[in-house]
Amino acid sequence: MNQPRTDNYDALGRWPGALMNTYAPALDLVSGDGAEVTAADGTVYLDLLAGIAVNSLGHAHPAVIGAVEQQIRRFAHVSNLFASRPVVEVAEKLKERFAHGDAVVAESTRVFFCNSGAEANEAAFKLARLTGKRRVLAAEHGFHGRTMGSLALTGQPDKRTAFEPLPGGVEFFPYGDIDYLRKLVGVNPTDTAAIILEPIQGETGVIPAPDGYLAAVRELCDEHGILFIVDEVQTGVGRTGDFFAHAHEGILPDVVTMAKGLGAGLPIGACLAHGRAASLFGVGSHGTTFGGNPVACAAALAVLDTIDEDFIADVRAKGEHFTAAMKAVDGVDEVRGRGLMLGLVLDEPVAKKAVTVGLGHGLILNAPSDSVIRITPPLVITTEQLDDAARRIGAVLAETRAQARTATQNNEG
């Protein structure tokens, strides 16, 4: 249930004096229910970000609460020096989802659990190194995390430059350009270990791969014995209207990384590999203290049990419904993406201002670029809430564009 804070604790005001200056939070949130969150002052917001695509089942979902409470009463942590049931069960369910019904693929798939998407991509990077080859090819504008290894794979110089030198051997290619990628591989195909990309680039502005692109990359990797790593950290767990976004093209990667929506708010990441990639790690070659935490895995089990094929079909339908509604909104030039991972491409560069204005309309929005509003709400959001969101976004854009015009006139005057 959404409830405001009843004491006078000022988390927002005390934040700068207690935490490093890596974020500038906009609100002091105290509770949530489904697709809504409540701030300390009692204001209720419709959450169209879901903790950056993390809260797949929204806030305070009873299945997650029940699973976590039951597990934490048993034990919270034992380390990977011991086996526990929730860890094995989640791994087995992920193997089934990854294999898309192919029993041979499921049998040859193995899972490494960690705590985040960045760590999942670190694991994938290390798998690539264990092939004995040095080159890893990554997409320009891609985002794979902020640890030193995952940052080395991230094709955004503004995030990388301050931390160089980063781990070497990574080269970048234009996202979606298969001809360029073929030529890049051809420079040294025998030393190319892996190609990594996102099926939809999220942090750049929700940019889907062109139709047929993933299949062409799969063919290229097969031709040269290259690992195909697909980063499903943001796109996975039903977010795009398929459990994995790569299923949209019917391809099977060698390695998939995931996190975010898998834990419904609890920190968990996973690196899945099949075939030869699944046997590259040996005992002692990689590890994690907290990865595969039983409580986080209990939450993941609740997610996997809830997000079945009917649930995912509903995500697709809600995405199509909201896309149609937003295409009719003045100021929206294009709607990109699939399911409930959408980018509203604006006809003016006012997206970041719209995020601020949106708070005044009871909306939590996000702008990965000046002209794109990213929509990644809880997957449990209702059609009625999406209709309400479309109306409010229309009002936000009208107000934001009016403010921009006024500012331009004042500057010219």
For the chain, the structural domain boundaries read: 11-61+309-412, 64-306
Pairing type for strands 109-114 and 44-47 reads: unpaired
Q: Starting at the edge strand that comes first in sequence, how are the strands of the sheet with 366-369 ordered?
A: 332-338, 341-346, 372-375, 366-369
Other beta carbons less than 10 A from residue 346's beta carbon: 23
Cβ partners under 8 Å of residue 101, min gap 6: none
- CATH number of the domain at 11-61+309-412, please? 3.90.1150.10
Q: CB-side exposure of 269: number of CA atoms within 13 Å? A: 22
- Closest by CA to 121, choosing from 153, 161, 92, is 153
Question: For 313-370, what is each residue's pLDDT tens digit?
Answer: 999 999 999 999 999 999 999 999 999 999 999 999 999 999 999 999 999 999 999 9
Give CA–CA dist 84/360, Å, rounded.
Answer: 47
Classify residue 337 as left (phi > 0), alpha (psi -120 to 50) or beta: left
Question: How do 44-47 and 170-173 pair as beta strands?
Answer: unpaired
Binding positions for pyridoxal 5'-phosphate are 117-118, 143, 231-234, 289
List, for residues 152-208, the tens digit of each pLDDT value: 999 999 999 999 999 999 999 999 999 999 999 999 999 999 999 999 999 999 999
Strand duo 269-274 + 332-338: pairing? unpaired
pLDDT of 78 strictly over 70: yes
CA distances from 136 to 128, 221, 238 (A): 7, 12, 28
Confidence of residue 6 (pLDDT cuts 50, 70, 90): confident
| pTM (predicted TM-score) | 0.96
pLDDT of 102 higher than 80: yes
- 219, containing H or E segment: helix 213-224
Residue type, 228: F
Reading the block at residue 405, the tokens are: 């015009």
Q: Is the per-residue pLDDT at 409 higher than 90?
A: no
Q: What is the three-class DSSP state of 411? A: helix
Of the candidates 100, 400, 72, the one whose C-alpha atom is nearest the C-alpha of residue 253 is: 100
Cα–Cα distance for residue pair 218/34, rounded to 1 Å: 38
pLDDT score, position 328:
96
Pick the CATH number of 64-306 from 3.40.640.10, 3.40.228.10, 3.40.50.300, 3.30.1360.40: 3.40.640.10
Annotated binding site for N(2)-acetyl-L-ornithine: which residue ranges?
A: 146, 288
Which pLDDT score, from 0 to 100, does residue 46 have? 98
- 48: tokens are 């169209």
Q: Give the helix, strand, coil percentages of the chain, each rounded to 5.
A: 45, 20, 35
Q: How far apart are CA 205 and CA 343, in angstroms?
A: 6
- Please enumerate, by residue number, every residue annotated as part of a binding site: 117-118, 143, 146, 231-234, 288-289
- Cα 167 from Cα 128, distance rounded (Å): 13
Indicate if the pLDDT at residue 19 is higher than 90.
Answer: yes
- C-alpha torsion 261→38→15→77, nearest 10: -40
Q: What does the DSSP 8-state code read for residue 369? A: E
Q: pLDDT at residue 398 above 90?
A: yes
In single-letter form, the type of residue at position 206 comes to V
> What whole-number percentage of the chain has pLDDT above 90?
95
pLDDT category at 261 given cuts 50, 70, 90 is: very high
Contact at 8 Å (CB) between 266 and 63? no
Tell me the residue type at 273. A
Residue 182 in tokens: 């073929």
Q: What is the mean pLDDT of the chain?
A: 96
Average pLDDT over residues 225-250: 98
Bond into 165 cis (ω within 30): yes
pLDDT band at 1 (very low <50, low <70, confident <90, very high): low
Give φ, ψ of 228 to 5 degrees: -100, 110
Q: Is the pLDDT of residue 4 over 80?
A: no
Give the model's pLDDT for residue 413: 62
Taking the C-alpha atoms of residue 322 and residue 343, their distance in angstroms, rounded to an integer, is 11
